[in-house]
Structure 1
Amino acid sequence: MASDIVPVPKGFSFSATSAGFKYSGRDDLMLIVSETEAAATGVFTQNAFQAAPVLVAKANLAKAGGRGRAILVNAGQANACTGEDGMAACRQTLKLVAESLGMAPREVLPASTGVIGARMDMEKWAAAVPRLVDGLGQAGPSQAARAIMTTDTFPKLAWSSLSTASGEVRVLGMAKGSGMIAPNMATMIGVLLCDADVGSLWWHEAVAACADKSFNSVTVDGDTSTNDCVLALANGASRVKIDSAEGRQDLLSVMMEVCQTLAYMIVQDAEGGTKIIRIKVKGAKDHAQAELAARAVGHSPLVKTAMFGEDANWGRIVCAIGRSGAEFDPGEVSVAVGGVPVFSRGMPSGGDLDGLLAPHMRRGEIPVDIELGDGPGRYVLLASDLSYDYVKINADYRS
């Protein structure tokens, strides 16, 4: 294994290479391989236009019964909205890799990110795969995480471990994403690796639960991509079997910590973003109602631009709550920004709110606390602000 400061789960090897799909002078293709067959799962975008790698990964997981060996990710070409030609190209990329590794194509899970509609350049794939396979073990997770970046400004890695009576279990995650972020399943592209011995069904349930409480609870611009997915392998190489209720809960907590750290990084790296808005809603009739209110605030361009401009315009928050579709009594609603009450039970709070809020609005993270009533519903959403640079980045994205 190439030297890397990241503690890697046992039994995994990494490779990264430059295929020249879109970006010159940098790696844009990465491969992760488990030494042994692993419990495999994925959570995928709910966008109706699902990219070829999403459809192929789903099919492979079904064929292999929740088992797998490798994850293959490219940047620069999304292979989305490319029809049957795109499906055939995706299958061919897996065949190229699988044959070189001596495994079945169904054991390889694909993911792609980049421009929608761009077709795979199969000549570049054919030239790059031998280098990719030959380089297996010569890269670490940091290089792999860099290879899947698009408009990201830094690679996103997180890791943790669990000490048990039988030994240590490691969990490692990586993700890419900074724009087109409002996942409705997982994240833009995420990878979760673990060396615990776990059952395939529990592994799927655990990854889905982690995604729901992390990647599904962030937004940058309200867009759910065609390619969003989290792919996850647990290979048992630590020889620590996790099969008790307590052990599973402990491992789930470690996995959740890793996923939530990655989700925070995604919002932190939002295209042109300067601030994180931590929106907490409580007192709703149920959790779904709380989520409606939180997402209306987090998606609102008016709220986001006010945060960017450090303008304590709480009326935009209240307005967003009002159009969210959540059920509540307007006279029971209260809002605080930076811990400062600005709207109490349907009425503006008194005092010099602009003066009180000014230091809070300058911070890199701004808490927005919303109380809709006295119900049990709660939800937390991380959102970014909306800046001039977001428009510039996305106006020039294909150039």
Structure 2
Amino acid sequence: MHIPKGYRFAAAQAGFKKVGKYDLGAIVSDVPAVAAGVFTTNKFKAAPVLQCREMLADGRKMSGFLVNSGQANACTGDQGRANCRETLNMVARALGVPADELLPASTGVIGAQFDLSKWEAAMPALVKSLETGTAELVARAIMTTDTVHKLAHASFEMPSGEVRLLGMCKGAGMISPNMATMLSFILCDADISTEAWQTMLADCVNLTINRITVDGDMSTNDCVMALANGASGVAIESEDDYVTLRKHLLAVLEELAYKIVMDAEGGTKVAFIQVSGARSDGDAEKVARAVGNSPLVKTALFGSDPNWGRIICAAGYSGAEFNPDDLVLKIGGILVFRNGTPEPGDMDGLLKPIMKERDIVIHINVGDGPGSSLLLASDLSRDYVSINADYRS
């Protein structure tokens, strides 16, 4: 794995989750790094989200991330904000990093206050782990209902040297833009300005993490944060430099987005819902989201049932403006519907093998307009209901 230069990792078992599970992690940059972040639009923003937004507002450099799973520290009021700041102070003292240069993130059950005694007890293990800790350990520490840890990396050569990118995330349920119950951390060793890094991150997140859905729910804690510490000695200065870095950052986020949907709670399928020919990108997105969030479409995917009528129905109520006679539907490249009627032939027989695949491409063209959108959606299974019914038990 291509680990960017100048970063160290630590993880500990603090007891926020079940005994024997890593649930506290830290990533430390050897030098203060340019920082950027994109956060949930939920009105009920968790304490760490509010803290990070404040810290990033003045554009100062940051030295790392602090993340816990098991407790979201959301809907916890002033006490939750105070607890968030105290955990930063506690970890800062232990790791030798300024508290105002650590960006916090939390995930887990909403409403419970932190047990600060558990944080204090975990400090020796966290400090020790910083000597030998790995990115994989931190990726495991941020998991909740995830079944696998999620990492993606990239490296590329510039005239002045190699640049490396590493991304990690957690997320399997309560997934729908603007973002989801997901935390994502991006590390880079290029030298880039704060403004360019923030613009690049927001742009790439909008094309990837904000284009996935599992269940249509949006969390209180979602965040994607990124550091660029310049340890590679490679400066991103020209437009070509920017385009090259953006291409690789986009690829890392695309891989993470796919892994979230692939690991959806109880999920067995990933639908690539492609919409084209809309009057605008906004209308195309309406169609894609209506299809991707439809329980009827999602359960048909789970059952490998080529019930294409559910897709047409969802497109029709999406709120997008288009002529129904213009809609053309293809599933797995097979023409299914056009001119207001289904294509002749044994459609169920043709689609049956496609519907059994893990990845299924659904292409919906609604006209000859310039608007397009891509959404990755999971199916909806019996296990999803069981997982969320038993989440706190």
Structure 1 residues 291 and 114, CA gap change in structure 2 (3 angstroms)? same
Matches within 5 A, 1:25-64: 25-63=20-58
Bigger drift between 140-149 and 333-342 goes to 333-342
- Is 1:339 aligned with 2:333? yes
2:248 pairs, out of 236, 251, 254, with 254
Once residues 137 and 276 of structure 1 are traced to their aligned partners in structure 2, the CA distance between those partners, rounded to angstroms, is 38
Q: Is it true that 1:380 corresponds to 2:374 in the alignment?
A: yes
TM-score by length of 2: 0.98
Instruction: State the SS of the aligned residue for 1:311.
Output: coil
Q: Is the 8 A contact 1:186 1:212 kept in 2?
A: no
Aligned-residue CA RMSD in angstroms?
1.1
Aligned to 2:94: 100
2:195 paired with 1:207? no
Matches within 5 A, 1:131-142: 131-142=125-136
Give, as a single letter, the amino acid of the residue that structure 2 aligns with 1:29: L
Pairwise CA distance, 1:7:
2.0
5+ long unaligned stretches in structure 1: 1-5
Which amino acid in structure 2 is aligned with residue 59 of structure 1? E
SS at match of 2:132: coil
Matched residue SS, 2:32? strand
Q: Secondary structure at the match of 1:137?
A: helix
Amino acid at match of 2:223: C
AA aligned opposite 1:371: N
For 1:211-245, what per-residue CA distance to the aligned partner results, in whole angstroms no more than 9, with x for missing partners? 11110001000011100001110000001111110
Give 1:3's aligned residue. Answer: none
1:305 pairs with 2:299 = yes
Q: What percentage of aligned pairs have identical amino acids?
A: 56
**Contact residue 171 and residue 180 of structure 2 kept, 8 A:** no
Question: Aligned residue for 1:230?
Answer: 224
**Deviation at 1:200?**
0.6
Is the deviation greater in 350-359 or in 128-137?
128-137
Matches within 5 A, 1:228-307: 228-307=222-301
1:358 is aligned to 2:360: no
SS at match of 2:105: strand
Specify the alignment match of 2:315 in structure 1: 321
CA-to-partner distance for each residue in 1:182-218, whole Å, 9 max, x for gaps?
0304771000000000001100011111111110001
**Structure 2 spans left out of the alignment, 5+ residues:** none
The correspondence for 1:22, drawn from 17, 31, 43, is 17
Q: Look up the equivalent residue of 1:17 and give its one-letter code.
A: A
Match of 1:11 in 2: 6
Cα separation, 2, equivalents of 1:386 and 1:186: 16
C-alpha separation between the residues in 2 aligned to 1:189 and 1:271? 16
Residues 181 and 220 of structure 2 are in contact (CA less than 8 Å); yes or no, is this contact kept in structure 1? no
Q: Could you tell me how far apart the structure 2 residues matched to 1:358 and 1:103 are?
A: 56
Secondary structure of 2:370's counterpart equals: strand
Report how many aligned residue pairs link the two structures: 393
User: Displacement, 1:61?
Assistant: 1.2
Deviation (angstroms), 1:337:
1.1
Contact 2:269 2:378 survives alignment (8 Å): yes
Q: Deviations over 1:343-362 (max 9, x none)?
A: 11221111111111111111
Match of 1:165 in 2: 159
TM-score normalised by length of structure 1? 0.97
Deviations along 1:324-358, one digit per CA (max 9) or x if unpaired, are 11010111111111111111122111111111111
Distance 1:247 1:86 in 2: 41
Q: How far 1:87 sits from its partner (Å)?
A: 0.5
Change (3 A) 1:185 1:205: farther
Does the 8 A contact of 1:41 with 1:67 survive in 2?
no
Deviations 1:129-164 (A, max 9, x none): 232123213111011101100010110000001201
Task: Give me the whole-angstrom Cα distance separating, in 2, the residues matched to 1:137 and 1:162.
Answer: 27
Deviation at 1:318, TM superposition (A): 0.6
Query: What is the distance in 1 between the residues matched to 2:91 and 2:117?
Result: 14
Letter paired with 1:139: G
